[in-house]
């Protein structure tokens, strides 16, 4: 191997096996893909130690991808259940799994996850720092933080969220501008606390070059985290968020110089009328790097239904430049999600991603929708269930109130518009009061 990262290979004109797979999946010419990877507009997160990986590309011109967050917490320690969530998420089409474990045997769980998962694996090393190092926050040194990143990279993690943009300049603006919800990023809040207690600069910002050397060694994509993402509508597009984004743009160029692939993380909570502009600002300030968004959630008053508020925002975001959607479940803001929450969250995010792909004219995006239309025109219910995102649920609904005729559903019965039109075009009568055989 005469290259270290996917980006380095692309810059040298080398088509890696991962690029071949991604180009095939995306109906794209290899030379078209290699150009985008070299420019940083597409990333292929593929740690050299993740042997079970089925690689995916994230970026402009590609299908919108979906990430699922899960992991062990102190209030819910069940390793088997988290692995069940992984299987369910992958079965419903999630392309990435982020292990956000912050309690217990995190290394063992992550090792098992990397061994078994064909999906990309991401982590936030900051979450794992206290448990991994067995030190309280104030006792952790800058070198310790880098050691946790090194441990994750060596294990085989494909991308890591690093909150390197929350530096002393960003914090100064955050304090001056004031916020309704302050900092809602878990990793960002921990770094903010560490910086305030120690008086030191953010270690991931101060020792960014050393961090990049670690990531380059294992070809780990850096996902530059949004520590200052808005946690409510009132805080969106403020000085803290925008100033951090400016920092992330500068850090992006430094990573590319080291041939490290970059994604940018974004909001958060945001009113619908601000989303498109935010996507364009990110692409401009961060030089076209792929954008990874949490939501955005378009209203703050729907706990229990935030998979819906997120899907609305995610569809708008992906139509206007976002490339990677982090799912949100109905349990958001309330508790750790269970299996059903994960299912609902994945499906909502996949709907948003697919809808955006259609709007963006991604090659082949409409094919499945056209097949569904053909099946509906024929009133072929079994075919509809096969094509549906969740065919099992669709079939359960259909069969819960059985129609009199199999060529309709219980909503319209014999007055089904498709049935009526098909009969007339076939030269048959439409007799609504008669018992018809067909």
* Binding site members for substrate: 69, 98, 127, 163, 185-187, 226-229, 265, 292
Please state, in angstroms and rounded to a whole number, the distance separating the CA atoms of residues 345 and 311: 9
- Residue closest to 410 by CA, chosen among 426, 392, 397, 391: 397
CA dihedral 89, 94, 99, 100 (to 10 degrees): -90
Q: How far is CA 118 from the centre of its chain?
A: 15
Q: Output the CA–CA distances (angstroms, integers) from residue 419 to 373, 386, 409, 428, 430, in the order listed.
A: 14, 21, 10, 11, 9
Beta bridge partners of 70: 99
Residue 264's H or E segment, with its range, is strand 262-266
Q: Which residues carry a binding-site annotation for [4Fe-4S] cluster?
A: 409, 412, 416
The answer to whether the peptide bond before residue 367 is cis (omega within 30 degrees of 0) is no
User: Do residues 173 and 233 lie in contact, with contact meaning Cβ atoms separated by under 8 Å?
Assistant: no
Q: Three-state DSSP class for 213?
A: helix
Q: How many helices (H) and strands (E) does the chain have?
A: 19, 10
CB contact burial 121-136 (16+ within 10 A = b; e otherwise):
bbbbbbbbbbbbbeee
Q: Which residues carry a binding-site annotation for Zn(2+)?
A: 269, 333
Q: Which residues carry a binding-site annotation?
A: 69, 98, 127, 163, 185-187, 226-229, 265, 269, 292, 333, 409, 412, 416
Q: Output the CA–CA distances (angstroms, integers) from residue 215 to 47, 142, 220, 222, 309, in the order listed.
A: 9, 17, 5, 7, 34
Q: Which two tokens mark 193? A: 């606390």
């Amino acid at each position: 191997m005469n290259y270290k990262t996917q980006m380095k290979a692309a810059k040298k004109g080398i088509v890696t096996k991962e690029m071949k797979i991604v180009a095939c999946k995306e109906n794209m010419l290899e030379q078209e893909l290699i150009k985008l990877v070299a420019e940083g507009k597409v990333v292929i997160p593929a740690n050299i130690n993740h042997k079970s990986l089925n690689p995916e590309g994230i970026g402009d011109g590609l299908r919108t991808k979906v990430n699922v967050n899960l992991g062990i917490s102190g209030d819910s320690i069940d390793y088997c259940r988290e692995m069940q969530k992984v299987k369910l998420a992958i079965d419903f089409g999630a392309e990435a799994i982020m292990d956000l474990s912050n309690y217990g045997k995190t290394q063992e769980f992550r090792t098992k996850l990397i061994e078994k998962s064909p999906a990309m694996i991401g982590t936030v090393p900051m979450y794992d720092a206290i448990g991994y190092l067995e030190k309280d926050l104030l006792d952790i040194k800058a070198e310790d933080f880098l050691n946790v990143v090194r441990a994750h990279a060596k294990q085989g993690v494909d991308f890591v969220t690093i909150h390197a943009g929350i530096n002393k300049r960003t914090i100064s603006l955050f304090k001056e501008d004031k916020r309704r919800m302050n900092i809602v990023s878990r990793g960002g809040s921990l770094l903010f606390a560490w910086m305030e207690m120690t008086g030191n600069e953010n270690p991931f910002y101060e020792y960014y070059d050393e961090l990049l050397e670690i990531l380059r060694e294992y070809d780990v994509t850096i996902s530059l985290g949004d520590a200052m993402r808005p946690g409510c509508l009132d805080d969106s597009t403020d000085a803290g968020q925008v100033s951090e984004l400016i920092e992330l743009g500068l850090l992006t160029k430094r990573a590319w110089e080291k041939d490290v692939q970059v994604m940018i993380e974004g909001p958060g909570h945001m009113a619908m009328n601000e989303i498109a502009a935010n996507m364009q600002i990110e692409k401009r300030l961060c030089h076209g790097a792929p954008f990874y968004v949490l939501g955005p959630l378009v209203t703050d008053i729907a706990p229990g239904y935030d998979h819906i508020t997120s899907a609305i925002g995610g569809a708008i975001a992906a139509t206007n430049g976002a490339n990677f959607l982090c799912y949100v479940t109905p349990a958001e803001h309330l508790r750790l999600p269970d299996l059903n929450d994960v299912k609902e969250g994945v499906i909502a995010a996949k709907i948003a991603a697919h809808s955006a792909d259609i709007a963006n004219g991604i090659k082949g995006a409409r094919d499945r929708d056209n097949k569904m239309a053909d099946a509906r025109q024929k009133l072929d219910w079994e075919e509809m269930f096969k094509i549906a995102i969740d065919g099992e649920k669709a079939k359960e609904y259909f069969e819960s109130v059985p129609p009199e005729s199999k060529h309709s559903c219980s909503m319209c019965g014999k007055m089904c518009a498709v049935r009526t039109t098909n009969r007339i075009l076939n030269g048959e009568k439409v007799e609504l009061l008669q018992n018809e055989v067909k």
